[in-house]
Amino acid sequence: MLGKTYDQENCSAARALELVGERWSLLIIRDALFRNITRFAEFQRSLGVATNVLSSRLDGFVAAGLMQGRTYSNHEDHYEYVLTDKGRDLAAVVIALTTWGDRWAAPNGPPIVYRHDGCGGQIDTGLVCSRCAQQVPVIEIEAEPGPGSHSGATQSSASRRVKKRRSASVAASDSARS
């Protein structure tokens, strides 16, 4: 969907941006996830997005397997767009982006709060370690080559450089506060 592809990038974030990185994409997904919008006219009315842009995004989502198009009337050209499991998995992304926006771009407080329907608790986007189940501060997260990496050595040395820069940045920040 972006005007540029990331063929040279071996990065899952870059690949995800190819699918949902355009300005309307996550808003369409948000409306499908949390407002139960499925029809073209409903998306258009909710977002005010141009029909050609909306049509292009929905067609792209269907082609990418994020949504499934189904006819909902006798008219063959009337579709509803239903999220697939792949599309529903973007809920964490939408909630994380909303949480960031609440902190940095919502001067009057959060316009929307995501809650657990079962108990009413607010949904958290904490970074939790799969081994020890603790929330991990960003400063303690290291990126390292995974099984899909092309070159572990290059990425590993880059990861060490990033970690050293981050450590130096935190040390400078801590000493400035003292």
12-89 CATH fold: Arc Repressor Mutant, subunit A (1.10.10)
Which pLDDT tens digit goes with each residue over 84-95?
Answer: 999 999 999 999
Which pLDDT tens digit goes with each residue over 73-122?
Answer: 887 778 899 999 999 999 999 999 999 999 999 999 999 999 999 999 99
Torsion angle defined by CA atoms of residues 36, 23, 4 and 52, in that order, rounded to the nearest 10 degrees:
70
Listed residue (113, 48, 37, 123) closest to 80, CA to CA: 37
Report domain extents, the chain: 12-89
> Model pTM?
0.79
Listed residue (10, 9, 54) closest to 29, CA to CA: 54
